[in-house]
Chains A and B, each alone.
Chain A
């Protein structure tokens, strides 16, 4: 399992894609699209929004492919575009208004949507399903912060800069997310004795 940030493609494929060769462009799509969609799906929450953002991201990738200088893996460059698009979407006034009107909508559709995100084989582990549900229970901002910090390796400074907020915002969002996620892993201990004393 290669993460998006580690995805690379051969130089000749990259050159062909830049020059507009359809075969090379299709190869690039096959290489980066699954990782990009998985990341966008985590950050956006809803599937419809994720599909829109995925299309935006891939379109930007092909439009700006000439700007890619090859100093990092192509996946890292695509990831940057995807994260930027997702955060821009989350910061947009429309999205904020939607969330303020009904934040439960995003979370309600979460678990089932996340289940669908899982690959068809191999079958997901029970723990994976739990964490998918736990992630879906978070607010979009907290989910994005915890994912960027824990999985994508962003620093608090980078997250704060991406959101246009302070470092303490990133830290507090992460702490709240951890507290909520922890509830999913801690077994509920029945403190009552089995037999009355």
Chain B
């Protein structure tokens, strides 16, 4: 392809090209060149700082995301475990079309708190019931002793009283622990 060209024309093109000006006025002089070099150094330093800042911010975001995800996973796991432990059934996927009654029930369920709620009751009722029950057993034992009932019956009443007293002791112990925690 190259050899197809007319050599005289080639020479002419070469001559014209070589006669073109070999110098061109530079866009700026020495002083401005120095100034530009300084500006470039500053810009590069700032760019480096920006880059480092961006990398640090990215790392922070990534680490925060990992931490949040791991915590979220732990919380979800705990929630699932809590639901299983308290026997709260997970809500099944409902069909899109529901009758009004089901919709009301679903709305009521949705209004419930999503987490299992621990409701605290006082121990007063339990203590009173236990004390009443112990008093009844005491009465029965007195009657049994006076009327000379079968020894097995009296032993059963004693065991019952012993169990009730043990329960009462446990409730009192729980009350003491709760008072210490508050």
Binding site for B on A (CB under 8 A): 1-4, 25-26, 29-30, 33-38, 41, 47, 51, 54-55, 58-59, 117-120, 124, 127-128, 131-132, 135, 146-147, 150-151, 171-172, 174-176, 178-179, 181-182, 185
Contacts and interface: CB of A to CB of B under 8 A. Distances in A.
A3 B36 CA distance: 26
A58 to B, nearest CB: 6
**Interface majority SS (helix, strand, loop, mixed), chain A:** helix
Interface of B: 1-2, 4-5, 9-10, 12-14, 16-27, 29-30, 33, 36-37, 40
B24 A151 contact: no
Contact of A4 (B13, B14, B22, B26): B22
A55 B13 contact: no
> Counting chain B CB atoms within 10 Å of each CB, which of A33, A37, A118 scores highest?
A33
A178 B16 contact: no
Contacts of B29: 29
**Interface majority SS (helix, strand, loop, mixed), chain B:** helix
A26 B30 CA distance: 6
Contacts of A30: 30
A171 B18 contact: no
B37 A117 contact: no
Contacts of A128: 16, 19-21
Sort A-B residue pairs by CB-CB distance and give the 8 closest, nearest first: A38-B24, A34-B23, A33-B26, A175-B2, A26-B30, A175-B1, A3-B22, A29-B30
Contacts of B9: 178, 182, 185
B21 A55 contact: no
Contacts of A34: 23-26
Contact of A119 (B18, B21, B30, B36): B21
A35 B22 contact: yes
Contact of A171 (B1, B17, B40): B1
A55 B36 contact: yes
Contacts of B36: 55
B30 A54 contact: no
24 contacts: A1-B22, A29-B33, A30-B30, A34-B26, A36-B26, A37-B27, A38-B21, A55-B33, A58-B33, A59-B40, A119-B21, A119-B24, A128-B19, A128-B21, A131-B17, A131-B20, A150-B14, A175-B2, A175-B4, A178-B5, A178-B9, A178-B13, A179-B5, A185-B12
